[in-house]
Structure 1
Amino acid sequence: MIKIYHNPRCSKSREALGILETQKEDYHVIKYMDELISIEKLKELIKLLKINPIELVRTNESIWKENFKNSNLTNDELIAAMAKHPKLIERPIVINGNKAVIGRPPQKILDIL
């Protein structure tokens, strides 16, 4: 089953959800702002996405700018920051089996469906 890590307040996340709805595929919505993502799960997502942890960070968020911008964080520290502050996590993330993508732009999710 397809999973989408979704933030209803994000327009790109809503667009991605709309694409999933039109594809007539079963999917499960994870509202990661409500259901916090563990450090272990973030590590799994990063591995599936085949990216470095910093690539999952929303560096324009005020939390990042105020608390982390000029810090030289390790990958583990970046992941811990995202687990503590889920607003820092880039969205939406869509997973289909062993494939995953950050839906920016939302049409990118079509690559893994």
Structure 2
Amino acid sequence: MKILHNPRCGKSREALKILQDNNLNPEVVKYLDSPLNAEDLKSLVGKLGVEPIDLVRKNEKVWKENFKDKNLTAEEVIRAMAENPILMERPVIIKGDKAVIGRPPENVKSLI
């Protein structure tokens, strides 16, 4: 099990705590320090079963200033997240070929 984690994010910390409270010790990936490349993001979107745009934090300044009113393809959205990891929704918990976005943090329970 792996968590794409931002320690400054309360929801991310809550999701990690839920995992730890269930005696799980996931690999913690600080995705802002070790960003996912486009190929990894495509794989992640597949595991989540969502469109790339569903993984974007649309309230981020970078999104609003550079991408908000553009009609981006899925590839362009993935590239935007690869180049600006702050745009990726957090936390994301991965277990095998499945993943969930931990918003709300209780979503992680579906992988336990």
TM-score, with length taken from structure 2? 0.97
Q: For residue 89 of structure 2, what is the aligned residue in structure 1?
A: 90
Q: For residue 18 of structure 1, what is the aligned residue in structure 2?
A: 17
| Other structure's SS at 1:29 match | strand
Q: Give unpaired runs (5+ residues) of structure 2.
A: none
Q: Give unpaired runs (5+ residues) of structure 1.
A: none
TM-score, with length taken from structure 1? 0.97
TM-superposed CA distance for 1:26, in Å, is 3.0
Aligned length: 112
The answer to whether residue 72 in structure 2 is matched with residue 73 in structure 1 is yes
CA deviations on 1:26-59 (whole Å, 9 max, x unpaired) are: 3100000000111000000000000000000000
TM-superposed CA distance for 1:96, in Å, is 1.1
Letter in 2 for 1:24: N
Q: How does 1:1-113 map to 2 (within 5 A)?
A: 2-113=1-112
Q: Aligned partners of 2:83 and 2:68: how far apart in 1?
A: 16
Letter in 2 for 1:74: T
Q: Aligned partners of 1:97 and 1:83: how far apart in 2?
A: 22
Structure 1 segments of 4 or more deviating over 2 A?
none
